[in-house]
Chains A and B, each alone.
Chain A
Amino acid sequence: MQTEAGRSLPEQALHRHTKDIRLTFPSSPLSVRRALQTIVADLQELELEERGSVELVLAEVLNNVVEHAYGADERGWISLECATERDGLHFRIRDEGRPMPDDTPPMGAPAPLPEVLDKLPEGGFGWFLIKDLSRDVHYSRLDDVNELTFRIKVDTSPRKN
């Protein structure tokens, strides 16, 4: 795992920097967990709740890559970039796994909750959470590479203390 976060960043200058974070890591649940912990540690400037939303959205996006683009039996790399702009954190996730079905991300609509306990869904929450907590979700497939970009609105102005 590599990180460039913080290396060239002066302290307290989270805002108005581009390419704040760049990570590349193998497709596996434990690598995703480590990547999330690295990113969250790099975003200490954010409010706790904002950091929670960022970690959740990234977890859902990255788990989808591990489980669906590559699948359990396939090795591959995932790259993550995060740029901080005035309107929030801009993310770009790339992988070389299978394309999304129909070349488009799922709608992520919440299913109505069934009356019967046995029919409760155990999955399908991921895209709903991604779309609920992020903006400008865009997927493209170019030369065997999946690219998903999205923005998470956070307060990126310098801290007032």
Chain B
Amino acid sequence: MQLSTRTEKDATIITVEAERIDAAVAIRFKDLMRDTAEGCTGRIILDLGQVDFIDSSGLGAIVASMKQLGDGQKLELAALNANVDKVFRLTRMDTVFPIHASLGNAVNSHAN
């Protein structure tokens, strides 16, 4: 599990370099997110394009990552595959996070 970061327009993009966010890596993910998001301001887009499986521990870790953000930081999700998207829909967490179909959509949604 690794996270990579880059900035595009007004957003920080954090890409999850892993196929799974599951119980085996949930705590590590949460810790990495805290370290990575530190010092960012504004929109943080979590790019889940490489992730093809998430369980409730992984979901909890993403929720925890959002809760540990500082003032002025906002977490959005992008590029969820069908199985990952389903977990967010079933638990209604899709109503909590802005979810973008693709990274491009996410970056451009505040382009004005």
Contact = CB atoms under 8 A, between A and B. Distances in A.
B24 A33 contact: yes
Nearest to A63: B23
B22 A33 contact: yes
A125 B59 contact: yes
Interface residues of B, number: 24
Interface of chain A: mostly helix, strand, loop or mixed: helix
B60 A123 contact: yes
Interface in B57-76: 57, 59-61, 63-64, 66-67
Interface residues of A, number: 29
B111 interface: no
Contact of B23 (A32, A52, A117): A32
Interface of A: 29-30, 32-33, 48-49, 52-53, 55-56, 59-60, 63, 66-67, 110, 113, 117-118, 120-123, 125-126, 128-129, 132-133
- 8 tightest Cβ-Cβ pairs between the two chains A and B: A52-B83, A29-B24, A125-B56, A122-B60, A59-B55, A126-B56, A63-B23, A29-B23
